[in-house]
Amino acid sequence: MLQTKFYSVFLIISIVQFSWAGVIRPPSPIISDEAKEEFERQVRLETEEFLNNIFKNQIGFFNKVKTSLDPATQRYKDIETYVGKLEVAKEEKSLDKKDELYFDSLRKIDKSTLFLNERQETGLEDDDYQKILEENGLKDLMKNFLADVAVYFWKMAKHSGKVVESTMDRFIENMQKDKVVF
């Protein structure tokens, strides 16, 4: 027991002595302010581009579908309303608001029947509505969405890697310059 206390006190005294001698430096910010600001700027730009691409693709798809429907149907009106909301989201300047509108549009499309045929809303048989969706690029919409998500996450990983690389370069440079590990 006494031996454990002795080792603890010895360790604390050693750390204090090393600190005074300059061997152990007080912790400094790991990521520089410049690297952090640049990373945040890149994330904002990439996120805005990602969201705008998704909005643009959905607007284009649903506008094509809408032209194949009777304007008197409920589905035509629902698509018109949905496209209007997507256009508002695309034009939004605040990234936080744009992001919120994106998630809101995902929830709405998930709960809606825009991809399903409701005869009383479309005036069409199931096969006819499915054909309209496919002829107007449903597969391309889904493929583009998956590609946009993959590209977005790749770009985020790439930007994160740049921050890690510049931080490690700075750390190694300081370590070599000062001959101090911590």
**CA–CA gap between residue 61 and residue 54 (Å, rounded):** 11
pLDDT digits (tens, 9 = 90+) for 39-54: 899 999 999 999 999 9
**CA–CA gap between residue 177 and residue 163 (Å, rounded):** 21
Mean pLDDT of 140-146: 95
Q: Label residue 169 by pLDDT band (50, 70, 90).
A: confident
- Residue with structure tokens 């890690």? 164
Using alpha carbons, select from 140, 132, 102, 93 the residue that is nearest to residue 115.
Answer: 132
**CA–CA gap between residue 34 and residue 168 (Å, rounded):** 14
Residue scoring higher pLDDT (1 or 134) = 134
Mean pLDDT of 100-121: 89
Query: Under a CB-based contact definition with an 8 Å cutoff, are residues 89 and 55 in contact?
Result: yes
Residue scoring higher pLDDT (42 or 20) = 42
Q: What is the pLDDT of residue 11?
A: 46
Q: Is the pLDDT of residue 112 over 50?
A: yes
- Residue with structure tokens 């998630």? 103
Q: What is the pLDDT of residue 64?
A: 97
- Helix 126-135 and helix 138-178, axial crossing angle in degrees, nearest 10: 50
Query: Under a CB-based contact definition with an 8 Å cutoff, are residues 108 and 82 in contact?
Result: yes
The pair of structure tokens assigned to 44 is 């904002």
92 Cβ contact list (under 8 Å, min separation 6): 98, 101
Average pLDDT value over all residues in the chain: 84
Q: Label residue 19 by pLDDT band (50, 70, 90).
A: very low
Domain ranges across the chain:
61-159
**CA–CA gap between residue 78 and residue 72 (Å, rounded):** 11
